Structure formats: C-alpha cells, structure tokens
Amino acid sequence: MLERFRQFWSNVWAPLGDLLLRLGVKPDWVTWVGTIGVSAGALWFFPRGQFFIGVLVITAFVFSDIIDGYMARKSGQSSKWGAFLDSSLDRVADAAIFAGLVIYYSRAGAETDLGGADLYLSLSLACLVLGNLTSYTRARAEGLGMTAKGGIAERADRLVAILVMTGLSGLFDAPFLREITLWALAIASGITVAQRMLIVRRQAVVHPEL
C-alpha cells in the first residue's frame, strides 16, 4: 500500500541526493550508512526501553533506502550489485528493529500492558522471522521466473506501522500501542506469506514449464 508514496518521497529527498552526488558520495555508501544507522538506533535504544528517541534515530536514517536509489538512477550507477546490496541490507535493518524489541522483552523489567514479556518476545521474534520469510518468498519466486509481490503487509507497511506505534508507545508511556502492533504484524505477516505462496502456486499450475 505505502509503496505508492515512494515517488513522492523520492522527490522530497532529491535535493539531498543531488548534493551528495556533487560531493562525490556513492549510492552504495548511502546504503551502508543507512543500514548501520538504523541497526545501531534499534539495537542501542530499544533494548533500554528508549523507544521514542530510538525511533527518531531510526527515522533519520531510514530514508536512505530511497535516497540511494534516486542517486543510482540519477547518476547512471544503477547495477545488479547495487540492487542486491540494497535488498540484502534492507533485511539486516528490518531484522535489527525487531531484534531490538526481542532483546528488550528478554530483559527483566520489560513493561507490558497486555500480557507477559515472554509473549511479546515471541511475537517480536515471529515478526522478525516472518518479515524475512515474506521477502524470501518474493525473491525465490522471481529466481524461478515467477512473481510473488503483494499481500496485506508489504515491507513498507510493516516498517511504518512498527516505527510509528513504537515511537508513540515511548512518547506516551503506553506499551499497549506497541503490543497491539506486534500482534497485528505477526498475524498480517503470516497471512502475507500464505498469500504469496498461493500466488506462486497458481502460476506454477498454469505455467508448469516455469
């Protein structure tokens, strides 16, 4: 759903991308910096329960995923390596966000509103695993000459949901906002994996030669 706004954000960040290109910055460098920034923000602040500032730090770096793509296209540096690096490091950043929550809930003193910490540790882990599985099903299908894009919880939707609600939970000291979101994302991610498997299954039946 939120992928439709990618062009809007590309236009917003285009001036910064142009500046970086004039300074000689490579798109791959932006990809690395963004991933390191997101991962560091999630793994440093989330385990300490500093959710609002953690989300602010992550947000400062998360738009690198759009800036690097714009820079690559604008400078003619788009390549298969760049696309591979970007997709691979996206998985690292996504995993770091949920890993930060896993670590938080594994520690004594983790605050919850809607159940025990162990439950939300498990849900955070489920979101981490299912999020990566969602991406894997698409990549594997495309490697076999098929498509598996779609589903109710694509990457951008999951990322915005967990960051917004985690930030608000920290700002208003309301853990239930984060907990409801973990429930929703775990369920939606599982449904998305099933949807993509059905999409591939239908293609395999109609085109068994693929």
Residues designated as active site: 90
Residue 104 phi/psi, 5-degree rounding, is -60, -50
Long-range contacts of 157-165 (CB under 8 A, 24+ apart): 157/1, 157/2, 158/94, 158/127, 158/131, 158/185, 158/188, 158/189, 159/62, 159/94, 159/97, 160/2, 161/185, 162/97, 162/98, 162/127, 163/55, 163/58, 163/59, 163/62, 163/97, 164/55
CA distance 40 to 50: 13
Residue 110 phi/psi, 5-degree rounding, is -65, 130
CA distance 140 to 61: 28
Helices (H), the chain: 6-22, 27-45, 51-62, 64-75, 80-106, 117-143, 155-171, 175-206
CA 114 vs. chain centroid, Å, equals: 25
